Homo-oligomer: A and B are copies of this chain.
Amino acid sequence: MMSATADDPALYNSLVADLLGVLAYGELSAFERLSSSARYSPTLHDRAVLGRMAVVEFQHYELVRARLEHMGLDTEAAMLPFQPSVDHFHERTRPADWYEALMKAYVIDTVSADFYRAVGRYVDAGTRELIGQVRSTGESTAVLQERLKAALADDPRLASRLALWARRLLGEVLTHAQRVSLEHAFLAGLSGLDDAGAKEFVSGLTAELAANHARRMAGLGLAG
């Protein structure tokens, strides 16, 4: 499903550059945050596990960068407009400990995978494939889920704290995703929807992301 912008390659490219810019900066930030959190892991084994996940995020960053360069675009320039909002998001969601870092990684991974999958409907096949590669967090997600389950089984008092934390994270992630999508207007541009249509799309998407999140939290035995 291609949009009206297919007729205007320059506009289309600039919208895709925005999309890849926020994706690249998201990956670079995720790499830094995960590897910083790794240090606070309860065991050396967990440190290495988190470190390995961080490295995967960096490799995804490199994939997006290669794509931007292939399009003749500068990665730094593409990322810059999104730096303040992504940084702000991370400032507002500093994990207090390793378990919160784990939950943060899990929530961001899964919700953003859903988000990019939805947005991927509106881009060309090459870009969609790239998004698929970068967001195919299957393995990392499974590791995070397993580790969270184990932690919750070991210490049931964690459950209420992590449930609360996950709700806060969901709120922050969704607010961030809405702001980025609407402010930078790439969602409207790519989908060919007018302002009202784009807002409606974002509302529908938000509801879908929240419902999927609630299902995953229930899977962990937590109240969504």
Q: Write out, one digit per residue, whether chain A residues 27-52 have a CB within 8 A of any chain B CB (1) or not (0).
A: 01001100110110001110110011
A76 to B83, CA, bound (A): 37
A75 neighbours in B (Cβ, 8 Å): 44, 48
Q: Which residues of B contact A38 (CB under 8 A)?
A: 32
A193 within 8 A of B: no
Q: How many copies does the complex hold?
A: 2
Residue A173 at the B interface, CB < 8 A? Answer: no
Asked, given contacts A35-B35, A35-B36, whether A28 binds B47 with beta carbons under 8 Å apart, the answer is yes
Binds B, one of A54-62, A146-154, A195-203, A213-221: A54-62
Known pairs A35-B36, A39-B32; A58 contacts B47 (CB<8 A): no
Q: Is the CB of A79 within 8 A of B44?
A: yes
Bound-complex Cα distance A31 to B48 (A): 10
State how many residues of chain A have any CB contact under 8 Å with chain B: 26
With A51-B58, A55-B55 as given contacts, are A76 and B32 in contact (CB-CB < 8 Å)? Answer: no
Q: A44 vs B31: C-alpha distance in the bound complex, in angstroms?
A: 13
Question: Which residues from chain B contact A48 at a C-beta distance below 8 Å?
Answer: 28, 61, 65, 75
In the complex, A44 Cα to B25 Cα: how many Å?
9
Q: How far is the CB of A105 from chain B (nearest CB, A)?
A: 14
When C-beta atoms are compared, the residue in chain B nearest to A76 turns out to be B44
Q: Answer yes or no: A4 CB below 8 A from chain B CBs.
A: no
Min CB distance A131 to B, Å, is 20
Report, nearest first, the 8 A-B pairs whose CB atoms are least far apart. A35-B35, A36-B36, A44-B76, A32-B39, A55-B58, A55-B55, A32-B38, A32-B35
